[in-house]
Copies of this chain bind each other. A is one copy, B any other.
Amino acid sequence: MAMRLSPIARAALLANLVAPGLLAADKPNVVVIFCDDLGYGDLGCFGHPTIATPSLDRMAREGQKWMSFYSAAPVCTPSRAGLMTGRYPIRSGMCSNKRGVLFPDSGGGLPASEVTIAELLKEQDYATCCIGKWHLGHQKQFLPMRHGFDEWFGIPYSNDMHVKRRGDPAVPLMRGDEVVEQPANQNTLTKRYTEEAVAFIDRNKEKPFFLYFAHTFPHIPLFASTDFRGKSRRGLYGDVVEELDWSVGRVLDKLRQEKIDKKTLVVFTSDNGPWLVMRLRGGSAGLLRDGKGTTWEGGMREPTIFWWPGRIEAGSTESGMGSTLDLLPTIASLCGALTPKDRQLDGHDLSATLFGDAPSPRDTMFFYRGTRLHAVRHGQWKAHFWTRGWRQRKLNQHETPLLFHLDLDPSESWNVAAKQKKNVATLTALAEAHSKTVQPVVNQLEVQLEKR
């Protein structure tokens, strides 16, 4: 086994993990398909009227829709850091109030001391592959190969990050540490990513594998291949989502063809809600309020599907809470890995909910924007201490937090704080207790390169 763990991560693993020793044949494959800026309302199976998503609709018919599944943050970099580590991004220094995400001139990235899903699975002899957008640091020491992945093919940050006045280079397409195309031809990215994904599955069908498939789209600027351009009723945005849908279908078909569908967990979700400021070039949060960059539900609740034929009940729906923060502990538990014990994890093992009738173990979710804790949800209640909608320039602090009952009022329309003082107090106390668990760390998003 070619170990590519960072020294610190390796030490953490050796010190803190005891592999429970699943036999290789019992180790399931894991595929995480992660979109960029996809809205809660953008899929047919989540109610969109004019975006045709037959593959995702079928995935939902054969799997389980999660209706209250949160990304770890409302923007790209911190959201990805949360998924990869199972920890709120504030713990790894991967969020900032000055710079929401990493930019081409950023010098920081996900610290080597963090333990990623890929690292955990490498310890369990998994083949690990990252395809698509990384955005957890593009200096060499932060690239996917330093964080547990055997292979990477994709772009290092967002596809719009080539601002001339800032001196940004054209967006590169990379394989491992090498730039293979610059500018990346974005028209064919989804198609090429998909071919890479299918080829990776083909090469590794005899052993357990982990594929983290992080699409570049529907982040703006939008591109679709000629097969999809002009095809959707929903214009270019729909074309792009329909190509993503096709891609999901190709991956699931490959698993079926190789007869490994019954030993593969596939998760589909997104990094944050729709980019509403882009109007019709952005997506729809459906019935949820607001979108990307905000801590309203539309900013962080994602259209999510879990699929594992034979293990997950076909056509089922889960209304309990989940989060991308839960993927690390869930995957670790399924794959026979133990999670690190020397640090605060924020995820829960969702297995008993996915495979049985157990209620979700997640009862609380914290909503950060940058390093500021904006809101907390506990059970059905969500309290907002700070809000800023996409139409607002100003951040609003709420001396009396806003309170919404999300089960009754998923659209966050009716603030009931005045009548629910006890619940406001409970949620405020939860937020305070949580904040005490947060330790100061280097802010990776504010580390700039000394020169360009």
Contact surface of A with B, Cβ cutoff 8 Å: 40-41, 44-50, 52, 54, 57-58, 61, 65, 67-68, 233-235, 237, 279-280, 284-287, 315, 317, 319, 380, 406-411, 413-414
A-B contact pairs, 24 of them (CB 8 A): A41-B286, A41-B287, A44-B67, A45-B45, A45-B47, A47-B47, A47-B286, A47-B287, A48-B287, A48-B410, A49-B67, A49-B287, A49-B410, A50-B67, A50-B319, A50-B406, A50-B410, A233-B319, A234-B408, A235-B408, A279-B413, A280-B409, A280-B414, A286-B286
| B residues in contact with A286, CB < 8 Å | 41, 47, 286-287
Complex: how many Å from CA A65 to CA B49?
10
Complex: how many Å from CA A396 to CA B48?
29
Interface of A is mostly: loop
- In contact, A41 and B47 (Cβ under 8 angstroms): yes
Complex: how many Å from CA A354 to CA B44?
18
* Chain B CB within 10 A, most for which of A52, A280, A287, A317: A287
| B residues in contact with A52, CB < 8 Å | 317, 319
**A-B contacts besides A50-B67, A284-B411, 19 pairs, CB < 8 Å:** A40-B47, A41-B47, A41-B286, A46-B47, A47-B287, A48-B287, A48-B410, A49-B68, A49-B410, A52-B319, A61-B61, A61-B315, A233-B407, A234-B408, A235-B407, A279-B414, A280-B414, A284-B287, A285-B287
Complex: how many Å from CA A88 to CA B45?
31
CB distance from A248 to the nearest CB of B (A): 15
CB distance from A430 to the nearest CB of B (A): 21
| B residues in contact with A279, CB < 8 Å | 413-414
